[in-house]
Each structure stands twice: as structure tokens, then as C-alpha cells.
């Protein structure tokens, strides 16, 4: 009977951690991840743009190269260019086929 009066610390820890993990899992499942995903993608895109701008500035200032004017390509033109690349790759034999 004296054993029943004393709490088992290992059992308490096991139960406590089980409850904490269950609470964490439930909370994560209820969090909206779509907004977070959008923020991460947008942030990564902006970091990429910033790195590109830094690279161009270094190229212009240090190496003395001129900026090339950007040409905007419509999504339809980009798709057709992508399709041309895909089909041109298929017609070429593999490099080690010779």
C-alpha cells in the first residue's frame, strides 16, 4: 500500500510528455499553413531579386559592364520557348551513345 501513495516520477513524465505532444500535434494541425507558405515563397523570391540586384551592381561598378535591357516575355511565349527546348532535347542523341 505504501507504493500506491507515492507517485511514480517516470510515469508522470511519460504522461506529461504524451499530453504535450498531443497538444502540439493538435495545434499544428489547426494552424493555417497556406498563408505561411505564401509568405515563405514571396520572401524567397524577394531575396533572390535582392541577390540578383547586388550581383548586377557589382558587375556594373567593379567590372564596368553595362546593364542589358530586360525584355518582357509573355507567358504564352515563354511556354512555346519551353516546348521548343523540350522537343530539341528529345531529338539529340545522348552524349555517350557514340
CB 63 within 8 A of CB 52: no
| Contacts of residue 67, Cβ cutoff 8 Å, sequence gap at least 6 | 56, 60
Q: What number of helices (H) and strands (E) belong to the chain?
A: 4, 0
Residue 45 has pLDDT above 60, yes or no: yes
Work out the number of other CB atoms within 10 angstroms of the CB of residue 67: 9
- d(CA 86, CA 96) in angstroms, rounded, equals 19
**When comparing pLDDT for 71 and 56, which is higher?**
56
For 22-43, write each residue's pLDDT tens digit. Answer: 998 888 888 777 788 888 899 9
Q: What is the pTM of this model?
A: 0.37
C-alpha–C-alpha distance, residues 14 and 4, integer Å: 18
Pick 57 or 71 by higher pLDDT.
57
Q: What is the pLDDT of residues 64-90, one digit of tens each?
A: 777 665 655 555 666 666 666 655 545
When pLDDT is cut at 50, 70 and 90, the band that residue 1 belongs to is very low
Amino acid at each position: 500500500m505504501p507504493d500506491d501513495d507515492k507517485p511514480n516520477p517516470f510515469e508522470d513524465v511519460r504522461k506529461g510528455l504524451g499530453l504535450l505532444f498531443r497538444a502540439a500535434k493538435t495545434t499544428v494541425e489547426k494552424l493555417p499553413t497556406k498563408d505561411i507558405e505564401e509568405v515563405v515563397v514571396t520572401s524567397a523570391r524577394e531575396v533572390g531579386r535582392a541577390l540578383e540586384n547586388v550581383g548586377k551592381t557589382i558587375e556594373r561598378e567593379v567590372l564596368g559592364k553595362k546593364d542589358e535591357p530586360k525584355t518582357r516575355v509573355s507567358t504564352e511565349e515563354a511556354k512555346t520557348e519551353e516546348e521548343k527546348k523540350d522537343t530539341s532535347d528529345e531529338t539529340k542523341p545522348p552524349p555517350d551513345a557514340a
